[in-house]
């Protein structure tokens, strides 16, 4: 019972923080996703940069978080109007980011690590895998100099609806393994259930927001269900390869932040391309 109470309390606090950030205006929104971005980067690097040299791993993690947050902060600064000339900001960002990358190379010279280029590769991977997808949040939330968080809210709802539907349908009706080598508990029946729940929610969102046609909402739902599920599998592959159950312990009873946003992160490039194409 204590475990269930902990899960419920964590979920309630998490939802309140998310809602406050999503609908509190452009600055709370930006702060919320900057923090989530940073925490996901920290957990990813904490999982992968697993060496006994803890102080040196801390430096690598800090370098990785700084680099991983650079794309998000760059786009946020433009959309929030902090800079009059984005080209100057781009030049300044490049002047800062590339030296940090090459400082990481120099740093590895002095660590005597057995796998220096693996460390460098993981830091750069964190930028691509986590940093860039979170940067795309700014692209969708700020359209034509107008801030609107409803599209990001909708994406999160559809992602979690797919996860929830897959879990409940899979636990009750699941018989056919989806990807047993990576995630033995996931089933095709659960995936279909998640897709159907996501499609139903997309129809509701069409009525509530009416930002796109019903066909576009349904297409968006399919993309989220497919690539969000792949995102969950990719993170499961990561944790299985490292012998870990959760990405972290920040959310009692729920694991880490990366566990909650793995599907959202993975589907963002596909969803952003789709939404920009249909508009």
Q: Where are the domains of the chain?
A: 26-145, 149-279
What is the reported pLDDT for 1? 45
- Helix or strand run (H / E) with residue 159: helix 150-173
Burial 173-196 (b: 16+ CB within 10 A, else e): ebeeebbeebbeebbebbbbbbbb
Q: Looking at the predicted structure, is the pLDDT value of residue 86 above 80?
A: no
Q: Which of the two residues, 34 and 53, has the higher pLDDT score?
A: 34
Whole-model pTM? 0.91
pLDDT at site 3: 60
Q: Report whether pLDDT(51) > 70.
A: no
Residue 50 has pLDDT above 70, yes or no: no
For residue 142, report the phi and psi dihedrals to the nearest 5 degrees. -115, 100
pLDDT digits (tens, 9 = 90+) for 99-113: 888 888 998 888 888
Q: How far apart are CA 71 and CA 73, in angstroms?
A: 6
Report the C-alpha gap between 58 and 54 in whole angstroms.
Answer: 6
207 has pLDDT over 70: yes
Of 51, 65, 28, the residue nearest 257 (C-alpha): 65
Cβ pair 48, 237 in contact under 8 A: no
* pLDDT tier for residue 52 given thresholds of 50, 70 and 90: low
Pick from 168-172, 255-259, 263-267 the range whose average pLDDT is largest. Answer: 263-267
Residue range 113-156, pLDDT digits in tens:
888 899 999 999 999 999 999 999 999 999 877 899 999 999 99
Closest CA to 258 of 112, 65, 52: 65
Q: How far apart are CA 246 and CA 85, in angstroms?
A: 42
The answer to whether residue 89 scores a pLDDT higher than 70 is no
pLDDT > 70 in the chain, percent: 93
Return the pLDDT at 10: 84
Average pLDDT score, the chain: 89
**DSSP structure string for 164-216:** HHHHHHHHHH--SEEETTTEEEEEHHHHHHHHHHHHHHHHHHHHHH-SS-HHH
Average pLDDT estimate for 253-268: 91
pLDDT at residue 91, as a whole number: 73
Separation of alpha carbons 120 and 29, rounded Å? 31
Chain segment 221-253, per-residue pLDDT in tens: 999 999 999 999 999 999 998 888 888 888 877
């Amino acid at each position: 019972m204590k475990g269930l109470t902990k899960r419920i309390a964590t979920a309630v606090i998490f939802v309140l923080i998310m809602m406050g950030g999503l609908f509190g205006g452009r600055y709370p929104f930006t702060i919320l996703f900057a923090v989530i971005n940073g925490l996901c980067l920290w957990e990813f690097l904490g999982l992968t940069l697993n060496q006994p040299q803890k102080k040196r791993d801390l430096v690598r993690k800090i370098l990785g978080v700084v680099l991983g947050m650079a794309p998000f902060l760059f786009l946020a600064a433009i959309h929030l109007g902090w800079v009059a000339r984005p080209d100057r900001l781009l030049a300044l960002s490049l002047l800062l980011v590339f030296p940090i990358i090459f400082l990481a190379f120099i740093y590895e010279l002095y660590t005597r690590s057995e796998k220096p280029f693996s460390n460098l590769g993981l830091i750069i991977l964190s930028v691509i895998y986590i940093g860039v997808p979170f940067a795309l949040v700014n692209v969708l939330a700020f359209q034509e100099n107008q801030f609107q968080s409803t599209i990001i809210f909708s994406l999160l709802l559809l992602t979690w609806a797919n996860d929830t539907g897959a879990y409940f349908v899979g636990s009750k009706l699941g018989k056919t393994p989806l990807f047993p080598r990576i995630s033995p508990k996931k089933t095709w029946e659960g995936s279909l259930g998640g897709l159907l729940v996501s499609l139903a929610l997309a129809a509701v969102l069409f009525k509530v927001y009416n930002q796109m046609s019903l066909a576009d909402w349904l297409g968006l739902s399919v993309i989220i269900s497919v690539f969000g599920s792949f995102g969950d599998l990719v993170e499961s592959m990561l944790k299985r390869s490292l012998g870990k159950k959760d990405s972290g312990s920040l959310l009692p009873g729920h694991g880490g932040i990366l566990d909650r946003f793995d599907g959202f992160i993975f589907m963002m490039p596909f969803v952003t391309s789709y939404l920009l194409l249909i508009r």
